[in-house]
Structure 1
């Protein structure tokens, strides 16, 4: 790369894209170069607000722009596979919103494209790069909590408009893939892949899940997880071991700290994020691109495959199916 500045293109200009580009502006080496929407007016409004150099009325126009180094894909889940592969084949690196795809087969195809094109691809599990989460994993690996036996995590709030994108079954909507993947990710980075999954869901009339309960059974541990669009929760998380308990402060997936309770004593740890916290996954993308890596060792291609495999099993157990799933 000729310059130290990494030029970003953003595809899909919904709520999460607004949050992402506000954090992108906090990274000195990052430049919001271009944005794209299926509506050129929406692209112009978004691009003007955040001072993008180019605004496109189609995703393909943005992909063809030779100035762009990496594309952030923030469209509905069902479009991730095709847009990611198209972007990689256009010679662009890709950061794709979670879930990376709607099933394991789609994820494999995206990873194969990354390898074939020799371009960086990462799922945007920003929580994995949160400073508190990094410190939590360090303390667990140091044995501060003893052997981990139990994880409890949820991600639940009430959706006021149950007819929007988040509950549209044709877009792979529902609480599991929108929110439930966060608790699944937490259990996975601490305990790995479970031996067995038990799951059940309640559904909207559309067929999308409105709440899903999951139990992950490990050799010597269990995780009890929940996602919901019908009622709010504390959105906290607990990791319990033989030597102590760790509470991730709410809202846990964007946490600013955690507490450890051990031997009758409580210690609070505070790790305020830069911006909302997307900054850390952005910096990881930059590091990998500068080092000519096609994946991050902190959230690998295999990690994405593993988590979507668990989600596939949850859907199998609960009966959650998406139309035209390929």
Structure 2
């Protein structure tokens, strides 16, 4: 791709997250939304009208396959429920498209590994849209932690929770891959992974709905150096939604909602410093910038959204799910 050409995006599906992504996409120079696909032609047309302008019209496709086949699209953002990501991503790959797919990438490790292998086999760019990884404040906290700002890290804490509406099917229907762990628990787990890496041991507990999906849970993860991470997630309560990294030399703390951090504090002894790195829009803009940079420089994998990191987190998600007793067909 030319370094001066705009990156042409397609959005697959038209739900709430697709709208959030489209609004942030409009804030990123040299990136443009050119097409949207939906299983409903009416929904695709409505989405296209909302984000079109006289100078940048958006084409509406009445199916996901038609979007994947659009020759004017460089990269597709897959925004369907994670229960069908494997099918939708593979369809995009079949048309030779680069893909940024919403988290969780799939329901379990085997299908995640299959998608990663297929992207590598085809030489196509692929990444999980774990936008928290690209947030400038999260990146700064992780860098400070790795640089020894907290001394020897002994503890990581992170939790995320909200009260789910009863009419949002993707949060309750097992056939759509409903899971508080996959929807919000993935954020605390990814934060712990960014700071501490792969755990030695995982001990998890939680509560399941009458349809067998997890709605609340927590896990304690232990690491080779002696650090412990405590993570929690729920779609049944308004949690404090904070995160912290603590050691014998200080503490880094991110206020609510930590996964979309607008700033953080650094405490050492009696000293408390407040820091804030600028964030564009809701924060999706930074992953858009990263994907565009990869495409322009010919990279098929991102250092900020690493596929191996996605697989490593998915393996822990599998272990937690197994301990909770969650099963998908």
Q: What TM-score range do you get, normalising by the shorter chain?
A: over 0.9
3-state SS of paired residue (2:5): coil
Residue of structure 2 aligned with 1:321, choices 311, 323, 327: 327
Please identify runs of 4+ aligned residues in structure 1 that moved more than 3 A: none
Q: State the alpha-carbon separation in 2 of the partners of residues 239 and 140 from structure 1.
A: 7
Residue 162 of structure 1 deviates from its aligned partner by 6.1
Residue 121 of structure 2 is matched in structure 1 by 116
**Is 1:86 equivalent to 2:91 in the alignment?**
yes
- Find the residue that maps to 2:264 and give its secondary structure: strand
Map 1:235-250 onto structure 2 (within 5 A): 235-250=241-256
- Relative distance call for 1:162 and 1:228 in structure 2 (3 A) is farther
Where does residue 43 of structure 1 map in the other structure? Answer: 44
How far is 1:59 from its partner?
0.1
Other structure's SS at 1:238 match:
strand
**Secondary structure, counterpart of 2:308 in structure 1:** helix
Q: Distance in 1 between matches of 2:231 and 2:279?
A: 25
Please give the residue correspondences for 1:193-232 in structure 2 after superposition, counting only pairs within 5 Å. Answer: 193-219=198-224, 220-232=226-238
Q: CA deviation at 1:165?
A: 1.4
Cα distance in 2 between the residues matched to 1:163 and 1:199: 26
Q: Separation in 1 of the partners of 2:168 and 2:282?
A: 28
Query: Which residue in the other structure is 1:168 paired with?
Result: 173
- Structure 2 equivalent of residue 257 of structure 1: 263
- How far residue 299 of structure 1 moved from its aligned partner, in angstroms, is 2.0
For the Cα contact (< 8 Å) 1:102–1:172, is it kept in 2?
yes
TM-score, with length taken from structure 1: 0.97
Instruction: Mark the runs of 5 or more structure 1 residues left unpaired by the alignment.
Output: none
Aligned 8 A contact 1:215 1:225 in 2: yes
**Residues 67-124 of structure 1, C-alpha deviations (whole Å, 9 max, x = no match):** 1000000101111112112211211100000011111111111111111111100000
The answer (yes or no) to whether the contact 2:162–2:237 under 8 Å persists in 1 is yes
Q: Post-superposition shift, 1:163?
A: 6.1
SS, match of residue 314 in structure 2: helix
For the pair 1:267 / 2:273, whether they are aligned, the reply is yes
Contact 1:155 1:183 in 2 (8 A): yes
| 1:142 aligned residue | 147
Alignment partner of 2:58 out of 37, 46, 53: 53
Which residue of 2 is the match for residue 76 of structure 1? 81
Give the equivalent residue in structure 1 for 2:70.
65
TM-score by length of 2: 0.96
Residue in structure 2 matched with residue 102 of structure 1 by the alignment:
107
Deviates more, 1:163-172 or 1:49-58: 163-172
Say how many residue pairs are matched. 323
Please tell me whether residue 286 in structure 1 is matched to residue 292 in structure 2: yes
TM-aligned CA deviation for residue 53 of structure 1: 2.0
